[in-house]
A = this chain, B = another copy of it.
Amino acid sequence: MKNIFTTKASFLLALFTFNFSSFIFSQDSIVIKKISDEIFVSGQIYKNEEYLCKKIGARLTSSAGAEKAVQWTYNLMKSYNFDTVYLQEVMVPHWVRGEKEIGRVASTIESTSVAITALGGSIATSKDGITAEVVEVKDFDELKKLGVKGVKGKIVFYNHPFDVKMILPFQMYGEAVKYRYAGASEAARYGAVASIVRSMTNYVDEYPHTGAMGYNDSLPKIPACAISTKDAEYLSSVLKKVGKANFYLKMNCETLPDVKSYNVIGEIRGSEHPEEIIVVGGHLDSWDLAEGASDDGTGAMQSIEVLRTLKKIGVKPKCTIRAVMFMNEENGLKGGKEYAEQAKKQNEKHILALESDAGGFTPRGFSMTMSEDKKDKIKKWKDYFYPYGAYDFTRKGGGADISPLEKQGVPVMELSPDNQRYFIIHHTGRDTFEQVNERELEMGAIVMTMMVYFVSEYGL
């Protein structure tokens, strides 16, 4: 691609003759062009993302990294001269991984180390670790069939692959993640001593994926970890071949008392309806295995870029635009809950909350949860979004951090990126800056800025 000049200069010219028939050349299209040019040419988002990933890095709730990120984003928004920048206190959980985990498969034919990662919220093993026979199940039905007789004293291994027949990665995730979240307690119900889950990804590779788990308080607590999809297939093959295998795991994680942390909030005050608030946000915390680049550095940095861009190009939004860096999405959602609670207490009027927390990939549209008449209004702006490829407004959605606002009746949206690559990265050692593409990240910021501009200008 493409031997142009010898064959078809005219063809290539034709290729870029877009159909702009339905594009209205209005004041709005001038603003959009300014937004687009500012971010493509002078965007700060990619270098901000680099700083967040490379100078701060992992930002597990309550960690030093998370606190550093709070200070840095506060200072960054201050440096952009937003009208107000402030910290919103919130008490958050304090789970720590401790020393790196150890895992080992031992059968009569071989003994092999496998990388494991404790799931967030899990208890530790004893200091000497746990060794027990592994029993593999595909799902809770199989577990139930095994019952106490088959499970007691053993380690349950949930080998539930993503259903790759599904088209959307989050659809696969949604179907499988219960084994990560609830697997330990379900196994404990039948007397298991620990649980292992196949990592949450459709790819077969050597990266274990962490992520939140929770205990059913009426059942004994047992340690819970994940192994990579490759090791899951290995362990399964050993069990098939040898019939029986032991697993040794040693985990050193711990839940300490809650600590104080912050949502970081920056605001441009509305010129006509300052009491009407549009939230644009992402979460500042991340898992601890890498840099939290795509989950959710990208969403946090995009949210700041929206405000920076509007200010830079001289748009004075009619409504108040608030960038919110939520704390503790990954293992508690305390930031999102606190924000909504405070909003209610202050009697604030939120006309929209928009989150970006599905990766910084090329935008495909926005998912929405709001009344049909509001959706119809948004769909009328579609032609402006078409050139940027972000014009799928048909799906339902929102975002975890803004779900407490949604419960209060606030219309919510989420940026919908093309995330076929997401579960290579998600909650693993691979969630680094290098996986983020500059242009894709910028395009997300552009369409988010456009959406915020339209809603501020015309309301919902």
Contacts and interface: CB of A to CB of B under 8 A. Distances in A.
The quantity of this chain's copies bound in the complex is: 2
Contact of A165 (B37, B202, B329, B388): B37
A400 B7 contact: yes
A396 B5 contact: no
Contacts of A12: 174
A67 B296 CA distance: 47
B439 A394 contact: no
B420 A333 contact: no
A395 interface: yes
Interface in A148-200: 164-165, 167-171, 173-174, 177-178, 181-182
Contacts of A256: none
A173 to B, nearest CB: 8
B3 A330 contact: yes
A214 interface: yes
A25 interface: no
A216 to B, nearest CB: 11
Contacts of A364: 389
A125 interface: no
Interface in A401-421: 403-404, 406, 418, 420-421
Contacts of A182: 5
B3 A362 contact: no
Interface string A28-66: 000000001100110000000000000000000000000
A445 interface: no
A380 interface: no
